[in-house]
Structure 1
């Protein structure tokens, strides 16, 4: 009898440990990576360096929030980087033509949301696989950006446009505040609203969702539209930072970083399971790793290898849970 109680106690401790690891593994991983980074380089803990990390991850972080919604619904969006470049081109064109920052902001939000809406239509109504639909949009958006600018860059000609990315509230840059505010908004959307519950349901079991009278098509169109909207905000920040956008290089491989952040954050590629807070820490992990490698003068050509290894490790741990 005593042996049975001891075994039950051990099983209880193991199950409790598994639950803690399942719920908080990304936070534990972030703390460990942060401590190791601090020990490896004295400059890492400098306040300005910490603020730089937050600033550097803000654009990818905003895109990753949208990618989280899409992946939770069982889809994927490979077009986010190219769409960012295309939206940036249209933003600068609208800015120069109207000489109005307000018009530029509206252009970013409208074009981003519209492209996301088109992605949603292709996936939900045309029944095209998300990988194929967004791959096509990726090629199309980049092509439009290149054609519009003749393969070059386009610069803004209105004073004050750069204030969007270069304004600080105290010590914190405005893009960081926007990123954290959007993180809170998306968190509340997924945690407190019917839409959020339906996104999880569709990602977990689409057929069961249909039988439960959930408008699956509307949910899919909604998540892609929101993703596009968030890409529009990211494009606005990216464009205003340097007051220009490159049609060929801007947004290049951003989809990889966004997907990496989402997966590292614990969201399953098959959909239905994941957390917005996990994505936040996934973005921070990538930011800390990139910053540490830069401080240690590691070749930027090897940084992609590190990201790839982290994605593989994250997926392996997901399968174990």
Structure 2
């Protein structure tokens, strides 16, 4: 009995320290998604994952949109990122100290030391490096096994909201109350104050060509400050500013061809590479998660209500997983 107790004590802290446990699909199916904040489709287009305020990480089949697996975390899930080459590895960041690399095949979890949580996480183009931009204003670079390689500090501790790797260089664009371009040596190449008003930049994404990036900010509609979708050169020179979103732009994603840009705001919108609006939903919603398939034909969205929707590139709704009623 003594030896059994020792074994139990040694095993139990693993799930407690890592802050997640496997939930059976049947149990998870009875819990409707709610407060969904992040969505990411795996590189093979076979599955996608979502997470949010309900603290559940759900993995669905992209073919029939059926729930395959679920994990219960101890804090809200803020962002997720599939490894670009290994289909069993998913990086997860939360609003607490439970952040790490989840190995889907054996349910192992490698903890990352991010005490204050992080809103942004992304693998680089070849999956050898992982970057997080956290709530303490730190960019951290990790190797694929979760070892910390470098921490990039700034002059304050204001939270970061988003980050994205250059499509073929180890160069990062990150955003919070400003936009920064940094590399893995720790050098910050550019700090961009994107407008005179003090409003955060919630999303940044490189164009697949690597020639420019886009940003979407918070705006302050109640104070007459328009939400801005902006296009930038790699040196931080402003190319174009586009208005038209009433709510903050919470997320944005290019398709792999670089022809279409999708934005999640008060409406789900699709633009061309020059910022011309092509399609938008008629209904207003609190859109958050968003990701294209790798053939640039379809796009998945997730709203704060928990609804997960599949669309074609013309903006036609194809399928829905209903979340909780708003």
User: Is the pair's TM-score, using the shorter chain for normalization, greater than 0.5?
Assistant: no
Relative to its length, the structure with more helix (as a share) is: 1
Task: Name the larger-Rg structure.
Answer: 1
Relative to its length, the structure with more strand (as a share) is: 2
TM-score, reference length from structure 2: 0.24
TM-score, reference length from structure 1: 0.25
